[in-house]
Chain A
Amino acid sequence: QSALTQPRSVSGSPGQSVTISCTGTSSDVGGYNYVSWYQQHPGKVPKLIIYDVSKRPSGVPDRFSGSKSGNTASLTISGLQAEDEADYYCCSYAGSYTWVFGGGTKLTVL
């Protein structure tokens, strides 16, 4: 149950696009199409923004998109806005009804 690997921080200017990677193994990210992403603003509750690799819950802007290739999943945020500045966590089903989160990535909007 090792944590998925995310970059500690990424940054971008308003209007730009950024991509956050999430690397696991064939036992989690690579083995199932059950990768989800969460946005957490400081002091707030995590919010689901992507599930099942690339699906968006209702109400989540289409600026947020997800994908997966092999053992690495990615979250792309296009048209960056100031309100996107937050921590982002990936999560994957890891088999045997267990889940694993990534260590989190701090997004700074310059």
Chain B
Amino acid sequence: EVQLVESGGGLVQPGGSLRLSCAASGFTFSSYWMHWVRQAPGKGLVWVSRINSDGSSTTYADSVKGRFTISRDNAKNTLYLQMDSLRAEDTAVYYCASSPNRGGLDYWGQGNLVTVFS
């Protein structure tokens, strides 16, 4: 059974940092691209970032470029999102998701709430 288990969310003040983790099991993690998608309370889904299967290529939404860093450790089957210089508008549930290519995001984590408050 495919599982993506997220951890690391919580409360942080503006300007602070947080690192999310996403532990994968049940599939060949090292063969998949991975993404982070967020959803602000009561709002829609927003794509945040993507990393290719070996970690050599990363891309970001303009809203987080320069502040967030996606990475992965294929030996540990784990995806990360380092979030720096956090803003109130970054408050959201963050989902990790897998994709075999440029198509659909086929498996999703349970979501992890990040709240940036002053």
Which residues of A does B touch, CB under 8 Å? 1, 3, 32, 34, 36, 38, 40, 45-48, 50-52, 57, 87, 89, 91, 93, 96-104
Contacts and interface: CB of A to CB of B under 8 A. Distances in A.
A91 B47 contact: yes
Contact of B45 (A1, A46, A57): A46
Interface residues of B, number: 23
A98 B95 contact: no
B47 A34 contact: no
Contacts of B52: 97
Contact of B61 (A1, A32, A36): A1
A98 B2 CA distance: 24
B33 to A, nearest CB: 9
A98 B47 CA distance: 8
B45 A99 contact: no
20 contacts: A3-B44, A34-B102, A36-B104, A38-B45, A38-B105, A45-B108, A45-B111, A46-B108, A47-B108, A48-B104, A48-B106, A50-B104, A52-B104, A57-B104, A87-B44, A93-B102, A96-B59, A99-B47, A103-B44, A104-B45
